[in-house]
Amino acid sequence: MTVSTVDADARSGGGRLLLTLLLPIIFVNVIAFIAPVANLVAMSFREATATGSMKEGMDLATWSSLVGDAYYWSMLWRTIWIGALITLVTLVLSYPLALFVSRAEKAKALLIVLCISPLLISAVVRTYGWMVILGDQGFLPALLRSFNVTPPRLINSQLGVVIGMTEILMPYMILSLLSGFGKLDTTLEQAAETLGAGPLTVFRRIVLPLSMPGVLLGCLLCFVLAVSSFITPKMLGGGRVALLATEIYDQAIVTLNWPVAACLSVLILIVFGTALLFYGQLSKIVE
């Protein structure tokens, strides 16, 4: 950064001005981010009594009751594998679309806006759209019945959650993939084709390896969002698909057991951390 007047000013005692400029944002982050998160982690070491109040002192009682409960283990695995499945389906659907958009000559900007703008629409509205499509009287069952096909259970099921989440997360995946495709040089593909490689070989040997960083980033993003999302599984799962995030809400708002909700929150953060570690290792291999 070039030295500007403000820079020069900063050295001659502008430290107070700098602090003034940063103070509001520090204030907001301390009272609504740092303190609450620290407090939440501390809360996971407390224990709730039957009346809903909190016992004095901190111990591992809540943690050990969770670890000993098979219900939470199965929920953790379900959360992870549904998250992984959603990530995979999202990748498979987003890849060809992102490739097409990045190569489009006409109306590229419009195509990007179309792919990304669903992000700007509330998850409640988009999930409601899926209820309209997948519901028992919805669009898709009606379509299937007109072909004399008995529709499977699309709503209040894991299938519904996977379909809805895939669509919700596609814009994130497309964005990540587009950033990866930006580095792709089409002359490499042309060279390979001239040398006699078929389209499949070109894809497998050139396009796919070069786009791997974008793929990994998109998968990380989708996985962590799938694991932590709550609205869509709640609305499309209809209470039948118990995941970590939906359980956190139930414990915090319905059962009012904050220590358990806090433990599950820390658990989600651990899943996040593990996903990040995996991402770091895989990125190294790719490069």
Partner 1 sequence: MPKISRGFHALCIASIMTFLLAPVILVFPISFSADAYVAWPPSAWSTRWYVALLHNEEMVTAFRNSLIIAACVTAITLIVAMPAAVALTRWNFLGRDALTSLFTAPLLLPSIVLGLAILVIFAGYGLVGSWPGVIIGHLVITLPYALRVLITGLSTMPAFVEDAAGTLGADPWRVFRRITLPLMTPALVASAALAFIVSFDEVVISLFIAGTQLKLLPVSLYHYVESWTDPLVAAVSALLVLGTLGIVLIVERAIGFGKAVSK
By CB under 8 A, what part of segment 172-211 binds partner 1? 175, 178, 199
Binding residue for partner 1 (CB under 8 A) from 12, 13, 16, 24? Answer: 24
Asked whether position 285 contacts partner 1 by CB under 8 A, the answer is no
Nearest to 162 by CA among 90, 76, 96: 90
Q: How far is the CB of 145 from partner 1 (least distance, A)?
A: 10
Residues of this chain, 140-169, that bind partner 1 according to CB under 8 A: 142, 167
Of 31 and 208, which has the nearer Cβ to partner 1?
Answer: 31
Asked whether position 126 contacts partner 1 by CB under 8 A, the answer is yes
Of 18 and 70, which has the nearer Cβ to partner 1?
Answer: 18
Q: How far is the CB of 257 from partner 1 (least distance, A)?
A: 12
Q: Which stretch binds partner 1 (CB under 8 A): 66-74, 184-192, 207-215, 244-252?
A: 244-252
The 86-125 contact track toward partner 1, x by CB under 8 A, reads -------xx-xx--x-------xxx-xxxxxxx-xxxxxx
Of 167 and 285, which has the nearer Cβ to partner 1?
Answer: 167
The 209-238 contact track toward partner 1, x by CB under 8 A, reads ---------------x--xxxxx---x---
Residues of this chain, 62-91, that bind partner 1 according to CB under 8 A: none
Binding residue for partner 1 (CB under 8 A) from 91, 162, 170, 260? Answer: 170
Q: Which amino acid makes up residue 270?
A: I
Asked whether position 10 contacts partner 1 by CB under 8 A, the answer is yes
Q: Which stretch binds partner 1 (CB under 8 A): 22-30, 62-70, 76-84, 203-211?
A: 22-30
Asked whether position 50 contacts partner 1 by CB under 8 A, the answer is no
Ramachandran class of 56: left when φ > 0, alpha when ψ lies in -120 to 50, beta otherwise: beta
